[in-house]
Every structure is written in structure tokens, then in C-alpha cells.
Amino acid sequence: MAMVVKNNMPARQTLNKLNKNSKALSKSLKKVASGMKLNSAADDASGFSISEKMRVQIRALDQANANAQNAGSLLQTAEGAASSTVDILKTLKEKAINAANDTNTDIDRATIQKEMDQAIDQISDNANVTFNGIRIFDGGADISKSVQDTIIKALNSEWLKASFEMIQDAYGINFTDGRASVNEMEVVLKDEGDNNRLAYVTHRAVGGVTDKLTLTVNMHYYDDMDESDPNGSSPSTGSQYLDRVIAHELTHAVMAANVKDMDNVPLFIVEGFAEVTHGIDDNRRSTLESLPDLSTGMSGEGAYAGGYAFLRYMNKQCGTGSVQSFMQGLVQYEGDADKAVQSATGGRFSTLQNMIDSFNGAKSAAGDTKAFLLNSCGIDLDNPDVGSILGADANQGEVRDDKGSVLEGLNTKFWYYPSANSTLINGLTVKWPDFQKGEGMKFQVGTRANQVINSAFGSISAEGLGLKADNGTNLSVGTRVKAKQAMTILDNAIEKVLDQQTNIGAIESRLKYTQANLTTASENTVSAESVIRDADMAKEMTEYTKNNVLLQAAQSMLAQANQNSSGVLSLLQ
């Protein structure tokens, strides 16, 4: 090798190795000090990118888990308020039952009312519970975006149930005892124009047996329905309280499902049963006062009023319970009205025509229709009772006026949406038209935008449970009749709160699974990210020791290489 002094190549080569060893040692020091084999993208660009994405996912999963825990805390707060309200409602039901007993005077009931007023106020206080300043039971779940939605809520929460219970009490037929041939009904809301059909039930029969039911509400009359009136009033000319119309039509539905060959039953009997369910002494007064003689071929207004008067005549002449027996006979004898009349009247009338003749004869003998209705049918047109078969005139029950014919709560804020597109009400599966339910709260429990749990809460205030009217009037037990009605309203209120409580519990249970899933996902992602980024300390210490030894060796050799050129000096002496 040539002896040169300008360029010491061994020293330069050794220096290069020294620098490489120094860099390798520096990298090893970083890995050992940080515990990570990837400290920057330069270490492994693709691996670093994957690791960073995983870290984003881990933090997102941990935050979603925290969200789920916070949501669980909110729901626990909500459940506490709902549970307290249920306890109050139990007490109110107890007080209502007490007030309905005639061992109490009205003075005693007034004392009970004072207790109830305080308890009802406390229910509203419970409903004002908040979490982080957010009012939980804000009623957001039950907000109506259209009159159609309001009618769906009314049907779901009160009108259908109340009507079915009236029909059961009046005639002993229903969808629950296994006799009904069909257990589904579709609800349709549409504008059918000015055709005097406020609502109607259609049924399809095969071999005399009904296998399909449809309830249609004519929105021509109810598109501007007063959404604050529990009875469903409308300013449209020709309309009636929708709750009474529904009770009328559902009588047809229950009859069609229970009476075989119902199409063979005379129209005036079918309509008569529907009219006597809710009473017509008010809205068909003029028709009743000009009532024509009965015939099996009656139609139009005459069939409605004539059938009503005929059944009230049976009730008056043959005793309370004969109308129910008549209905039971139609079920038993598969629509044979002659056999049903004979059975219901205990043989007093052998055929339907025989009873019609008796009715017409009594009417003719009375001379004055109004007197005939009062004396022979028990229909007092001057009485506030509207003449329901369950009311004061027909059955010595409570007075049922036009607004009290169908029993509802005091406030439409009680109404709530069906829980699904079809729901079971008193044994009947009701298929609903499309409705737009309030969204309520959304709990973000996932790392993607659509991974949310909806939690919509209805109102459980006194107004939202139908216990307080908009004008501030509380549910009353001031009389026996009012106490009896209060019992039913409280049952409905309890059902609504329990439904809320069930919903809360279901979401709480779901959140537990959600938290477990998020925890597992976070753990697995951390494990996967560790494989990419965390250093194997044993391996890195070995590498560090190697690089450290190599660095020291390179330093020593550099010193030796720098001494090589000094040999040239001996040639220059």
C-alpha cells in the first residue's frame, strides 16, 4: 500500500464505520429508552402509519366506552325518577279505590283529593329530573309532526284500548278469548272526501268467516282535528268526536271477528250495537224523535237510530243483560238473529220479526215517539246521559255525556307512539301506517358516526300521564263516579310509566354489552398495535450491547488508523 499523507483512506473508512455504529447505537438507545421499536415514520413508514391508525382507534374506543358509561349514569337517574313515580301512582290507585267506596262521604273524598293533589304535583317534580343540566323526560319521543301522527298516538295509547274494554263490558266479546277468527287489523288514514263516512271498518269473509280487518279514518274530516282535545274534536262540518266514532267502528270489527255470517245479520242490528256502545241521545236526537217503524230492511239514518232504539227496547223490556245475551246468541248461532232473540229474551219473543212487531206496536200505541222512547225504551232525550248501554239510563251506571262516552285521561300529552310498526292491543295485532317518531337522545357508543343508541323519553309529568289538564285541573275523586273513572286513568298512567321503565332497563342492559364489547375491542387493538410498535427489550438490549461494542472498537481502530500516516515522517528525516 502506498504511503501517502494527503488522504488517509483507512482512517476515512474507519470513520465511516464509526458513524454508522454511532447511528445504530443512537437508534438502539431510543428503542431501549422509549420501549418502542418505532419512534418515527423513518423507522418503518408503513408500520408507523398502521400503528398511528390503531392508536386513533384505541382512543376512540376508550372514549366511546366512557360515553356508554355516562349514558348508563343518565339512565340510572331516569330509572330512579320513573321508579319513584310508579310508587306514587300505586298510592294514587289505592286512594282512588278508597274514594270509590260508598263508605266514604263526599267530605271524605275531598280529604282524599287533597292528598292526591300533592302526590300529583310530586309526579311533575319527578319528571323535571335532569342529568348534566339536560331534562330527561322532556316528551321528545312523543312530539307529533302531523295530525295523522297524533291520531296514531291516540289510537295506540287510549282509543283502541278503551273501545275494546267498552265492547267487552257491554257484550262480552273480544279478541282475547280465542273465539275471534282474525287477530290482525290494519289502520289506514287517508282523505276520502266529503262522503259522510267519518271512519269505517271493512272486513273480508271467506265462507262467512272473517279473515281480514281494516280500520280507515277519513282525514277529510279530521285533518284539522284539535290536537289538544282528548276526545278528538274537529271543526269540520259533519264531524263528531273521533273517540266515539272509533268505538262505533271497533264494535263492527269485534262483531265481524266473532259472529260467523255477520253479513246476514240485518243492518239495523249491526249498526244498533255500534250505536248503543257509546250512546247517541245527543247527536242523533232529531232522528230518534222522528223514528219510523222498524223493518229488517232499514238503511241510512233510520238503521242507526232504529237499531239503537230496538236494542234499548230489548234492554228495557227484557232486563239488563239481555242485550249482551243477544250478542252472545249471534255468536253462538252464527248470525241467526231469530235464535239469538229467542235466547236473549228467554222465549218472550220467538223470532226477530216477532220482536220488531212488538216494538212497532208499542210505538204506535204510545202515539208520541218521545214518550215511547222514554217509557218503552228507557231513552231520556232530556237527560245528559247519552244512552250508552253501560251508562246511567240503560244500566244504572255512571252518567256518560258526549265527552265522557269514551274514557280518556285529561291531557293529550299522555298520547304516545306505538313501539313498532305493529303492536298488540287487547289481543289484536294492529298494523300502523308510517309515522315519524321523535328521535330523542342519541348516545354515541361507537367509533363511527352511525354507531349510536337512540333513547327517546316520553313525558311522565302529571300532564304527560293524563292526570292534569292543560288548565291545571287535577284528576278528581270527588264523587264515586269520578273515583271509578280515576282508577282506569291511573291504570293507563301506570302502564305508560312502566313502559318507559322497561325501555330504560332494556337500554341499560344493552349498554352493558356495549361496554364489554368496547373494552374487548380496545384490548385487542392495543395488543395488535403493541406487536407493531413495542420493542422486544431483550432483543433491543442485545442489539444495543452489540452496537456499543462496535462503536468502541471503531473508535479504537480510528485512533490506530490515524497513526498510520506518521510512518511517512521517518522517510522525511
What is the predicted pLDDT for the residue at 97? 96
Short-list 179, 329, 166, 328, CA closest to 257:
179
- C-alpha span between 225 and 246 (Å, rounded): 14
For 68-137+454-534, give the CATH class: mainly alpha
Parallel, antiparallel, or unpaired: how do β-strands 428-431 and 422-425 relate? Answer: antiparallel
pLDDT digits (tens, 9 = 90+) for 118-129: 999 999 999 999
Query: How confident is the model over 337-362, as a mean pLDDT?
Result: 95
| Total residues found in the chain within this entry | 573
- C-alpha span between 25 and 554 (Å, rounded): 12
Residue whose entry in the numeric block shows the C-alpha cell 246511567: 392
pLDDT digits (tens, 9 = 90+) for 428-473: 999 999 998 877 888 999 899 889 998 888 899 999 999 999 999 9
Short-list 454, 419, 403, 390, CA closest to 157:
419
Would you give the end-to-end CA distance of the chain in angstroms? 21
Parallel, antiparallel, or unpaired: how do β-strands 130-131 and 428-431 relate? Answer: unpaired
pLDDT at 26 over 80: no
pLDDT digits (tens, 9 = 90+) for 143-156: 888 999 999 999 99
Residue-wise over 234-263: b if at least 16 C-beta within 10 A, else e? bebeebbbbbbbbbbbbbbbbbbbbbbbbe
What is the chain's percent helix, strand, coil content, to nearest 5? Answer: 60, 10, 35
Q: Which residue has the higher pLDDT, 568 or 479?
A: 479
pLDDT digits (tens, 9 = 90+) for 490-547: 999 999 999 999 999 999 999 999 999 999 999 998 888 888 776 667 776 777 677 7
Question: Any idea where the domains of the chain sit in the sequence?
Answer: 9-62+542-572, 68-137+454-534, 147-395
Using 50, 70 and 90 to split pLDDT, how confident is the model at 275? very high
Report which DSSP code applies to 141.
Answer: G
Report which DSSP code applies to 210.
Answer: E
Using 50, 70 and 90 to split pLDDT, how confident is the model at 300? confident
Q: Which residue has the higher pLDDT, 507 or 13?
A: 507
Contact of 342 with 350, CB cutoff 8 Å: yes
List all residues 6 or more positions away from 553 whose beta carbon is below 8 Å from its beta carbon: none
- C-alpha span between 355 and 361 (Å, rounded): 10
Cα–Cα distances (Å) from 126 to 117, 245, 474, in that order, read 14, 36, 17
What is the predicted pLDDT for the residue at 573? 65
Query: How confident is the model over 372-389, as a mean pLDDT?
Result: 93
Distance of CA 122 to the CA centre of its chain: 24
- C-alpha span between 344 and 330 (Å, rounded): 10
High-pLDDT (> 70) share of the chain, %: 96
In the chain, DSSP finds a helix count (H) and a strand count (E) of 17, 9
Contact of 499 with 89, CB cutoff 8 Å: no
DSSP state string for 410-474: S-GGG----SSSEEEETTEEEEPPP------EEEE-SSSTT-EEEE-----STTTTTSB-TTSPB
Contact of 386 with 278, CB cutoff 8 Å: yes
What is the predicted pLDDT for the residue at 212? 96
pLDDT digits (tens, 9 = 90+) for 94-115: 999 999 999 999 999 999 999 9
3-state SS string over 325-365? Answer: HHHHHHHHCCCCHHHHHHHHCCCCCCCHHHHHHHHHHHHHH
pLDDT at 24 over 70: no
The dotted CATH code for 147-395 is: 1.10.390
Looking at every residue in the chain, the average pLDDT score rounds to: 90
- Are 68-137+454-534 and 147-395 the same fold in CATH? no
pLDDT digits (tens, 9 = 90+) for 226-265: 999 999 999 988 889 999 999 999 999 999 999 999 999 9
Report which DSSP code applies to 291.
Answer: P
